[in-house]
Amino acid sequence: MNMRKITLLLLVFLSGAAIGLAQTACPTATDVDGNSYKTIVIGSQCWMAENMRAARNRSGREILLTEQKSDSTPYRYYPNGRVGNAKTYGYLYNWEAAKVVCPDGWHLPSDAEWTQMTEYVSSQGQYACAGNEANNAKALAATSHWKRCQKSCAAGNHPEENNATGFAVLPAGGFYNDGYGYFGKGTFFWTSTESANDSAYKRYLDYDTTCMVRYTYLKLGGGAVRCVRGEKGEGRS
C-alpha cells in the first residue's frame, strides 16, 4: 500500500472518529449562579440531566422567589414549598421565568424538541419496557424518590430499575392554581411553545403511568426546567 492510500485511510478514520465524538460528547452546563449540571446525549441532542436551580436569569437578574402567581412576571418556587428541596429537585419556575433561566448556549426546549427526544427513546428497543416502545417512563425516570406502585412499566414500579437513558427525571411536583401538588408522585417540564395566550405545552411524568405525556398548562403555574444545547429555540428570549 503506497503512502497516499495510507494517508487517505488515516484521514477517513480520523474523520469518522471525530464524527463519533461529536455525537457522544456533551459539555457540562454551568448557570449564571455557578451551578454545574450533568448532561446527556439522547439521539442527536444534548440535554441537561438535572433540573435548573438558578436563582437568576441568564442576564444575571434575580427571579423572584414567591408563592404568588403570574403569567407575565418571572417567578420561581421551592418544590413542595420547602427550602431544602431545591438542592435535589431544582426550582419550579413559571413560564416567563422558564424562558430566560437556561444558561448561554442552552435554551428551553420547544415542544418539537421534546417530541424528538421522547420519540427517539421510544424507538430504541433497549429502552422499551416489556417490549412496548410506548413505555418510556422507566427509561426516563430517576432510580429514587418516586412513590412506589404495582403498575408494570410505571416509574414507581421497582424504581431501582429506572433511568436507562440517564435522563433521571425526579418527582419535583408542580405549583398549580390550588398550590403545590404531586411532589414525590410526578413532575412536569415546560416547553417554550405556547398553546394559547395564557398557556404553553408541557411534558408530564407520573409515578403510575408508563410514558411521558404531552399536555398544556397555564403559564402562571410552576414547573421544572430542563435545557437543551444550542442557541436557537422556539420561544427563546
**C-alpha cell recorded at residue 93:** 419556575
- Cβ–Cβ under 8 Å, residues 103 and 29: yes
C-beta atoms surrounding 64 within 10 Å: 13
User: What does the block give as the cell for 227?
Assistant: 435545557
- The reported pLDDT for the residue numbered 25 is 80
Give tens-digit pLDDT for 90-117: 999 999 999 999 999 999 999 999 999 9
Q: Retrieve residue 195's grid coordinates.
A: 398553546
In the chain, the largest separation of any two C-alpha atoms, in whole Å, equals 75
Cβ count within 10 A of residue 105: 14
Grid cell in block for residue 117 = 427526544
Query: How far, in Å, CA of 201 to CA of 203, rounded?
Result: 7
Q: Is the pLDDT at 21 greater than 90, yes or no?
A: no
What's the rounded Cα separation, in Å, for the pair 76 and 78?
A: 7
List, for residues 167-190, the tens digit of each pLDDT value: 999 999 999 999 999 999 999 999
Q: Which amino acid is at 106?
A: W
Q: Binning pLDDT at 50, 70 and 90, where does residue 232 land?
A: low
At residue 122, the 3 state secondary structure works out as: helix
Q: Output phi, psi for 75, to 5 deg.
A: -130, 155
Name the residue among 144, 145, 141 with its Cα closest to residue 153: 141
pLDDT of residue 2: 53
Q: What per-residue confidence (pLDDT) applies to 199?
A: 98
Whole-structure pTM value: 0.88
d(C-alpha 48, C-alpha 38), whole Å = 6
